[in-house]
Amino acid sequence: MSPPAVIRDLTTRHLRLSLPRPWGPDVAANHLVVVEITLDDGTQGTGVSWTPRVGPEAVHALLEHDCRRIVTGLPGEPELVWDLLWERLHEGGSGGLTTIAMAGIDLALWDARGRRQERSLVDLLGRRHVAVPTYASGINLYYPLDDLLAQVKGWIDAGHRAVKIKVGRPDLAEDVERVAAVRDLLGPDRLLMVDANQRWDLPTARRAIGALAPYGLYWVEEPLLADATWAYAQLRASVDVPIAAGENAHTIHRFRDLLDAGAVDVAQPNVVRVGGVTPFLRIAQLAATYGVTVVPHLLPELSGQLASCLPGPTMVEDVDGASFAALGALAAPSGVTMEDAVLTARTGPGLGLRFVDHKESS
């Protein structure tokens, strides 16, 4: 058997992608750092690191100044590289910017593996779902109520059976008014989730969930600071609405803590924030041992491929204007499509993602 191909080169580029409607006063764009890896047998792979706001330049620098040096000459096997890279980098932080940078490399190596074998990522991992339901979602906390209802009406017209809206306005009565209006528009049979984006403390979360629970919430997402494991466990034990969290948990160790504490009903790893496909799969396997549902966070062109391979029921988040395709990041269609409230993943070899060379906000 011939030895595995080794990593010969790593190159990066930073794309700044304007959002069609800002997510808030300080979030007008998303940032991608595209990673290209070349192996010594000529195989190439493309991966991506992503951040909507914080640290794209730091991620770019970490890839250029540390990661390239560490991975050059290593066998191009994603699991091996991931473990060695984390061992070398985690003194700079076990997660966050560290794992976001690592994701670009891990995704590129999975892409290279698929290209070398002429198989898609879904085929490499093993497809379990021909199609995955999507739920509509928007960064709409600051929308006037009429705009929010117009957005939800558009989702209904597009066939969505599940939607998620933001909560956490300064006056709880406003949240109640908005959730009640959305539930009235949805009717009794569609699923309604709410996302507080870490805006509440424990007493506030208890009061808010108690006030919102009559509107039939499928889950409440990130009601508390993402690191407040003890408080999450206390909250989950005291309310009847399922608790979802994990988009800001960056390592398998954080997910282990949440699961051990009985803190979540739905685990939401973000494939980039946790460091790529390799750790995402480990987290999904861990969650399965606790009987906890995994619903990947954002990035549908990646999350949809992974969701297609999860063993249990799942969904994919479809955020207005935030897919790679909607942001204008792709040089060609990915093969991941979202139509009639379902996602299908039929990509070419590897991840099926080819990114534009350069993009700046207007």
**Residues with a known catalytic role:** 166, 297
What DSSP element (H or E) covers 259?
helix 252-260
CB 200 within 8 A of CB 223: yes
Tell me the residue type at 163: V
Distance CA 330, CA 179 (A): 35
The residues facing 342 across adjacent strands are: 133, 339
For the chain, the straight-line distance linking the first and the last C-alpha, in angstroms and rounded, comes to 52
Q: Give CA 136 to chain center in angstroms.
A: 14
| Distant-in-sequence, close-in-space partners of 83: CB < 8 Å, separation ≥ 6 | none
Dihedral of alpha carbons 223, 228, 231, 237, sign: positive
Tell me the residue type at 225: L
b/e code 203-212 from CB counts within 10 Å (16+ = b):
eebbebbeeb
CB 262 within 8 A of CB 236: yes
Distance CA 306, CA 295 (A): 10
CB 49 within 8 A of CB 101: yes
Distance CA 324, CA 301 (A): 7
